[in-house]
Amino acid sequence: KLSNRLKIVGDFVSQNSRILDVGSDHAYLPINLLKNGKISYAIAGEVVDGPYQSAVANVKSQGLSDKIDVRLANGLEAFTEEDDIDTITIAGMGGSLISQILDAGKEKLHSIDNLVLQPNNSERNLRIWLQENGFLIVDEVILEENEKIYEVIFSKHGESNLNETQIEFGPFLNQEKSPVFKKKWTRELEKQNKILKNLRENSQDSHRVKEIEAKIQFIEENL
């Protein structure tokens, strides 16, 4: 059974898509989407041999080797135009790594309609990358699972002009301000307050103190 996190990633994949799942690890997401008739074909990309082998074994034991190609490849190198991929999913990695993966293969993204991205952190870096590279955020979800809070970003080609607040908190998440959103930023506020207290007691770095104070104020304004 799929984690709620990966289920929500899968919910953004449209019916009959052909997907590339980058960093697929065990290949649970493509296996699940295929078994549920949501997609017709997937590439499970993995750059590390251990997870690659595990993906190959899982796909084979589910009898899906004809519909899921498991490929040992770095990022977007896992697909070519001939694969006719329309959707890329990248989940369970840092937002900066996701941005790097997209950036390294950005000349291949023109043929991709949908990006479903689930950064574990540094969401702001990913939003900046998307905006600067002609991708529009069309929806977002925030969820909690096993004490961890995750964000899922659904993006398509398009222009946007997000302000600093929307970049930091997410254009949709900041509108919605769900209980999980409030929990995430309350946690972050507590963390920054601790850092500030520590700085005031142990350091003379007034520039850093001002920086943290500004961060705290920014979060408080948006909670």
Q: Which residues bind ligand SAM (CB under 6 A)?
A: 6, 22-25, 45-48, 51, 74-75, 91-93, 101
DSSP state of 73: -
Least separation in angstroms between CB 2 and ligand SAM: 9
Closest contact distance (angstroms) between CB of 164 and ligand SAM is 29
Residue 22 phi, psi (nearest 5) = -85, 130
Rounded-to-integer distance, Cα 220 and Cα 136, Å: 27
Closest distance to ligand SAM from the beta carbon of 59 (Å): 14
Work out how close the CB of 77 gets to ligand SAM at its nearest, in angstroms, rounded to a whole number: 8
Beta-carbon contacts of 163 under 8 Å, excluding residues fewer than 6 positions away, are: none
With beta carbons less than 8 A apart as the criterion, state whether 137 and 117 touch.
no
SS3 at position 98: helix
Q: Which is nearer to ligand SAM, 153 or 219 (CB)?
A: 153
Q: Do 47 and 72 touch, CB atoms closer than 8 A?
A: yes
Cα–Cα distance between 95 and 124 in angstroms, integer? 8
Least separation in angstroms between residue 115's CB and ligand SAM is 14
CB closer to ligand SAM, 24 vs 155: 24
CB of 75 to ligand SAM, least distance (A): 4
Question: What contacts 52, CB < 8 A, 6 or more positions away?
Answer: 46, 70, 72
Six-digit token string for 134: 């002609």
Q: How far apart are the first and last CA of the chain?
A: 34
| Identity of the residue, 119 or 170, whose beta carbon is nearer to ligand SAM in the bound complex | 119
Q: What is the DSSP letter of 67?
A: T
Instruction: Choose between 23 and 95: whose C-beta lies nearer to ligand SAM.
Output: 23
Question: With respect to ligand SAM, which residue has the nearer C-beta, 24 or 99?
Answer: 24
Q: Which is nearer to ligand SAM, 22 or 126 (CB)?
A: 22
